Amino acid sequence: MIRRGPRPVNVRLRRLLVMLPWLMERQTVSTQAMAEHFGMSVADLVADLTLASMCGVSQDPRDLIDLWVDDDEVHFGIPKYFERPLRLTVPEAFSLIASATAAQQLPGMDQSGSLSKAIAKVSQAIDLNIDDSFVVELETPESVETLSAAIRNSVVIEFDYWSVATGQSARRRVAPLEVFLDQDHWYLRAQDVTAQAERTFRLDRLEQLVLTTENHGFVATPRSDWFAQSDEQRKVLLQVDAAWLWVLEQYPDVSIGTVLKGQVVQHADWVTVEVVANTERWMQRLLVRLGAHAVVVDPSDWRQLGSETAQLILRRYERING
Amino acid sequence: MHQLERVTNLLALLLSTRRHLTFDEIRNELKGQYPENLVAARAAFERDKAILRDEGIPISSEVQGGDKAGITGYRIDRSAYELGDLQLTGHEAAALRIAVSALRMGQSWGEEALWKVDMDSGSTARPQPVVQASLPVDQKLPTLHDAMSRLRVVSFTYNGRPRELEPFGLLARSGWWYLVGNDRSVDAMRTFRVDRISTEVVLLEGETFERPVDFDVRTSFPADLKELPDSIDVGGDIAKVRIDATDVNTVLGQYGPDSLVERHSDGSATFVIPCANVQAFEHWLLGFLDRAEVLEPTKLRQHVVEWLTALVRGVQA
């Protein structure tokens, strides 16, 4: 059984201050519905509301917050203190404006103009000036709109996909589930009909996209950390020239330290870095980008990977020269 | 008594009062809720105030006069506390809900904001947008956004140096957040990557600025880092690069059809790509491994060959 520590006072207070005006608007709500709305358990909800019912400027019953929990319902009486929610905090205002501004660029998100109007109302309410000084750029390829339509209509699609692992293109037939942007790349998450497995595809490696007339019954489940799905994933220990650490800044799962774990120091001022390599190709790219400013310490079978990859690329330059 | 109960009572009291209340008056109103020992009671009161202020609750304090001269009093102005009714229509509220669901920011801030601005929503169903995007988030962003919107000068440390900045704009581009503004320490426009700011961002009391009328953060620095000049001279700012058929679409997506110079019979193509910043250019080029090759300028081609040769020699040494 998992034991959970007590919920912090600030978190409970924050939730209470938005729950009370929400409840006041409705007067009577089922505890189950209210708990779902605020993303908490019924037990925690009832505990917080019971405590709130004992609060007020004095312990005179006429001064207490007028609410009571009865069976599976919570009831609100006469409003006294918290009739409106607390104004948006700085992080809440930022998050709402950033999400809405970014979402405006996604296909189909603001066709009616409702999102733009909502942003304007929120900005005005919190006295924020939104103009050309705040921009979220999401470069959206044309295929995102086509794929979105296919997902909405549960239609099987086909396309040619170039695989980094094999270096070749192959025709794929998939049930599309979700299109998403992660860091700087767009991806399609889909059920591969032939392989009977979920796959993630990079949109810029996808060609000859065709929507079929076949419908599918697959339902999208919440996306897990797709980067962690690879069975090729390996931890790699590098020594890197400190002046070239910027090359690693764009990669996730990078741990930088200065102490070497019993390894021979090639350069005294180099630092130790642990990265999680998703594939060998991924590691090849990283190593040639770092050039002679990094060496692999572990695993030993990748110590020559950078050199071998550099020779592979150099052969191309020699071939043309020859 | 549970601290949450006492803090809630204190909040209710400060919202209800029409005048500032001193600590003694608050203690008297909330009978028995603070410890009898004065030092302990004062410490508990300070902790409660800190909780309320950390939650963004605007507690006004005022030094009293008359028989309470020199003693600080406290109250909360209801109009400063409450979020007004935004009068969102059903469609507008729904659009906001979908927007927050579509953007992953790794924080619950957006959801908590929705609870407040969309009080009318009775729906517990979370919309499932078919298109989703992740935005990188950094704890410093809300403060920077607030300072930028309210024209407040900020201070922080970047690259080991303290800075005082007039934050003109914030831009999310290619997976990173950038802050652009006038760096007062050098009196010049500078661009900072937000995740590299190494200290807390502090709003300087009373320090404000005016943003240039024609400022547009999108055009304030090059969209492509390869256009930012560096100190390596390779004989030109534009490179001709031959890309294998497998990656032609990728480059077309990045640079558009105008960058395409020639298509070859094997499906490969030659592109023109900015290379004023050689490091950024090579970083991009080497991502293709042996599926891309620099044709011109000759000095750049030679630079790539030398880079790779050094790698071969470095590892073999």
Residues A247 and A201 in one domain: no
pLDDT in tens, B34-63: 999 999 999 999 999 999 999 999 999 999
Q: Is the pLDDT at B294 greater than 90, yes or no?
A: yes
In a domain, A31, yes or no: yes
Q: How far is CA A212 from the centre of its chain?
A: 30
- The pLDDT score that the predictor gives to residue A267 is 65
Mean pLDDT of B269-281: 90
A206 vs B125 pLDDT, higher one: A206
Residues A179 and A199 in one domain: yes
Residues A218 and A239 in one domain: no
Domain containing residue A186? 143-228
- The pLDDT score that the predictor gives to residue B316 is 39
Q: Percent of chain B scored above 70 by pLDDT?
A: 93
Domain residue spans in chain B?
Answer: 3-81, 90-134, 141-215, 225-316
Which residues on A lie below 8 Å from B280 (Cβ)?
A: none
Residue that is last in its domain, among A228, A246, A265: A228
Residues A213 and A263 in one domain: no
SS3 A84: coil
Give the gap in angstroms from C-alpha B127 to the nearest C-alpha of chain A.
12
In a domain, A163, yes or no: yes
In a domain, A114, yes or no: no
The number of domains in chain A is: 3
In a domain, A306, yes or no: yes
Give the gap in angstroms from C-alpha B69 to the nearest C-alpha of chain A.
25
Q: Do B132 and A180 touch (CB under 8 A)?
A: yes
pLDDT in tens, A34-85: 999 898 999 999 999 999 999 999 888 899 999 999 889 999 988 889 989 9
What CATH number does residue A71 fall under? 1.10.10
- The pLDDT score that the predictor gives to residue A291 is 93
- The pLDDT score that the predictor gives to residue B55 is 92
In a domain, A116, yes or no: no
The residue behind tokens 């579509």 is B102
- CA-to-CA separations, A39 to A9, A33, A204, B59, B120, in angstroms, rounded: 17, 10, 37, 29, 17
- The pLDDT score that the predictor gives to residue A266 is 62
B107 vs A320 pLDDT, higher one: B107
Q: Are A89 and A58 in contact (CB under 8 A)?
A: no
Q: Do A125 and B117 touch (CB under 8 A)?
A: yes
Q: Is the pLDDT at B297 greater than 50, yes or no?
A: yes
CATH, range B3-81: 1.10.10.10
Mean of the per-residue pLDDT values for chain A?
84
Of A167, A207, A316, the CB nearest to B249: A207
Q: Is the pLDDT at A322 greater than 50, yes or no?
A: no
- The pLDDT score that the predictor gives to residue A218 is 85
Residues A214 and A252 in one domain: no
Q: Do B120 and A25 touch (CB under 8 A)?
A: yes
Taking CA–CA distances from A35, the nearest residue in chain B reads B124
Mean pLDDT of A117-140: 83
SS3 B103: strand
pLDDT in tens, B121-162: 655 455 677 788 888 788 899 999 999 988 999 999 987 889
Mean pLDDT of A192-201: 86
B263 vs B235 pLDDT, higher one: B263
Q: Do A121 and B146 touch (CB under 8 A)?
A: no
- The pLDDT score that the predictor gives to residue A157 is 96
- The pLDDT score that the predictor gives to residue B70 is 87
In a domain, A50, yes or no: yes
Residue that is last in its domain, among A57, A76, A95: A76
- The pLDDT score that the predictor gives to residue A50 is 93
Residues A249 and A202 in one domain: no
What CATH number does residue A277 fall under? 3.30.70
Sequence length of chain B is 317
Which DSSP category does A243 fall into? Answer: G
B242: CB partners within 8 A, 6+ apart? B264, B268, B269, B270, B271, B292, B293, B295
Chosen from B16, B29, B92, B247 to mutate, greatest number of chain A CBs within 10 A? B92
Q: How far is CA B19 from the centre of its chain?
A: 38
- CA-to-CA separations, A54 to A19, A59, A236, in angstroms, rounded: 16, 8, 57
- The pLDDT score that the predictor gives to residue B18 is 92
Q: Is the pLDDT at A228 greater than 90, yes or no?
A: no
pLDDT in tens, B70-94: 899 999 999 999 998 888 888 898 8
SS3 B137: coil
Q: Do A135 and B169 touch (CB under 8 A)?
A: yes
* Assembly ipTM: 0.75
Q: Are B109 and A95 in contact (CB under 8 A)?
A: yes
Residue that is last in its domain, among A49, A76, A103: A76
pLDDT bin (cut points 50, 70, 90) of residue A265 is low
Q: Do B99 and A129 touch (CB under 8 A)?
A: no
B12 vs A124 pLDDT, higher one: B12
| Whole-structure pTM value | 0.73
B31: CB partners within 8 A, 6+ apart? A58, A59
Which residues on A lie below 8 Å from B103 (Cβ)?
A: 98-99, 102-103
Residues A27 and A69 in one domain: yes
Return d(Cα A133, Cα A108) in angstroms, integer: 25
